Structure formats: C-alpha cells, structure tokens
Structure 1
Amino acid sequence: MAQADEAVDLLLESGRAPGDILVLTAGRPHPWQQHELSFGEGRYWAQLTEAADVFYADLALTRPARREVVVLVLEAADRDRAVLAVEKARTHAVSLLVVCGATGQLTDADVVQGQPVPA
C-alpha cells in the first residue's frame, strides 16, 4: 500500500487533481477505503460521484468508475490473476494506469491495448 500512497503523492505533486485519481486494490482494501466506509456506504459512494478527492475502492468495483488516472495495487497473485487485474483496471483509466505492488509476475509480454504493462 505504501507504493500506492507514494504514487498518489507524486501524481498530486505533478499537478493532477485529487478527483482525477482512482486507487484500486486487488487484494485487501486500502486503509483509507476502510476509513471512508466507516462513515457509511451512502457517504462513501457519494464521494465517487462527487469526484472531489482521490477515491479508493476494491478492483471488484461494480459501479461505473472512470478517472483520468488509476493506481492499481497488486498483492501477491499468480501471473494470470495479475494480468486480469491489469486488464480490468485499464477499463477504469482514461489516460494513465500506474501499477504497483507485487508486479514481479508481470512481463514485457503482458501487453494491454498495444502498450507494455508498466512495472
């Protein structure tokens, strides 16, 4: 999770607006997602619609969610699951997908939409 937090910090420092960033986790929930859910599901999902801040969700997200930038947090998983996670995360990203965490199982041959998967 620390790598995702660092990626978000770098994106914000580079001028990205907080509402442009979606953090998706493929594994356990991000602590910030758990914090936001403590205020209730209604308030949590309203934040997605408002798009005023970074939004944290599980990759299994079933609600429509697209943001300019998606930060995908991969936890230890086999290669096939990691590739599927990257493919799903790409459907939520408008212009940039940042993959962090357990990326060791991904190779340069894991190509999505004609682009190598970032490690």
Structure 2
Amino acid sequence: MPLIPEEPQIHESVPGPRAVPAAGRTAPTPRPVPGPRPAPMRSAPGAPRGPVPAPPRRAAREAAVDAPAATPQIQLIPASPEGALDAADEAVDLLLDSGRAPGEVLVLTTGDPHPWAAHELSFGEASYWAQHDAGDDVFYAAADADRALARPVVVVVVNGGTDAAVARSLPSAMARAGALLIVCGDPQRVNALLAAGV
C-alpha cells in the first residue's frame, strides 16, 4: 500500500491564500456582499466596545435657519413703469422654462397690483393668502405686503409708487429673496435707489 503524505494543516495565524489555483487558472476575486455597512468601533481605552452612535439629525429647515444668509444675486431688467409688468411676466416664464418650480417665485409690485393678484383678491383675502401659504404656485403681491414670505426668487415690478416707497421695497425684497432678486424697472431710478438704500 502506497504511503500518503500527511496533509499540511493551515492555521488561522498563517498569512496567505487558503487554496492554490490550478495551473493556468486565476483565483476568483472575492466580491463584497451587499448589506448595511458596519458602524465604526470605539477605539478609546476603557470605552465600551460597539458601534459609535450617529450624531442626531437636524431637519433641513433648522440647518437653514442656523446658516448665515447669503446675499442673493441681483438682476436688473430695464423697463418703463408701463412695461414693467410685461417684463416681469417674461422673466417668470423664463424662470419656469429653465426649471424653477412655480412655488419658488414671488412677484412684488410697487404700483398697481398684478392682474392675477387683483383677480384672486376679488374672491376674498382668505383664499388669496391660502394660495400663498400653500406655496405651490407663483404668488403675486404688493411690495409692502408684510405677510408675503421669503422664496428663492423674488421679482420686483417697479410699476409705480413713490421713490420712498420703492426705496423701502427693494431692501425688503432683497431680504425675502433666497438666491435671486430680479428688478424690472427704469435702470437709472432703480440704481439710484439701490445705491441709496440697499
């Protein structure tokens, strides 16, 4: 009876491959197993072993309140007081066509109200402001409407009003604009008021 050589034993402490592939064949690369990632382990001496608890999550709104307010970009669209509403409507159309959600846009008028606002106010202030609070569509209001809340884009229509009223409206509109403030009006008048008050 032929002698069978004793098989070598592989101990866990011995580094290296567990099996040798046959000549001409490569060993398959182990693939990661999908599933949750293990939590990092505590390494401080005396600390209990186990996963490190994740820091508490804060709501995005809380984080936004804590973050310093960034100054919005300002764009000026030249328009006469008579043509400012049309310029604002074109600006809103371009914003929506470029991917802005309707609820991200607030339009403020310094003179006569926008025709949409006048129409909606004919049904009563409660339903008008309910549309504002829903925040799912472009909202039109008077520039001095304190109840109109901040939105990412604010469009100011300088379609009338005294210089003092417009001068008060511009800083208020800038404070409401999260990313972009668009002013539709006479460039000389707007620039003079911006330089004086904003």
Where on the TM-score scale, by shorter chain, does this alignment land: which range? 0.7 to 0.9
Runs of 4+ in 1 over 6 A off after TM superposition: none
- 1:12-64 deviation line (CA, Å, top 9, x unaligned): 01110000000000111010101111222111000111001000000111215
Matched, 1:96 2:180: yes
Deviates more, 1:79-88 or 1:89-98: 79-88
In 2, Cα distance between the equivalents of 1:37 and 1:79? 26
CA distances 1:58-103 after superposition (whole Å, capped 9, x unpaired) = 0111215111100000124565543332111112111110000233
- Distance in 1 separating the partners of 2:132 and 2:172: 18
The TM-score normalised by the length of structure 1 is: 0.83
What amino acid sits opposite 1:23 in the alignment?
Answer: V
Counterpart Cα distance in 1 of 2:130 and 2:110: 22
- Consecutive unaligned residues in structure 1, runs of 5 or more: 113-119
Structure 1 position 83 matched with structure 2 position 167: yes
- How many pairs align? 112
Q: Which residue of the other structure, out of 91, 98, 115, is the alignment partner of 1:31?
A: 115
Amino acid at match of 2:183: V
Judged with a 3 Å threshold, the aligned counterparts in structure 2 of structure 1 residues 34 and 78 are, in CA distance, closer, same or farther, namely: closer
Structure 2 match to 1:53: 137
Contact 2:110 2:160 in 1 (8 A): no
- 1:3 paired residue number: 87
Structure 1 residues 77 and 26: alpha-carbon distance in aligned structure 2, compared to 1, 3 A threshold:
closer
Distance 2:139 2:182 in 1: 15
Bigger radius of gyration: 2
**Further displaced range: 34-43 or 73-82:** 73-82
Q: Percent identity?
A: 48
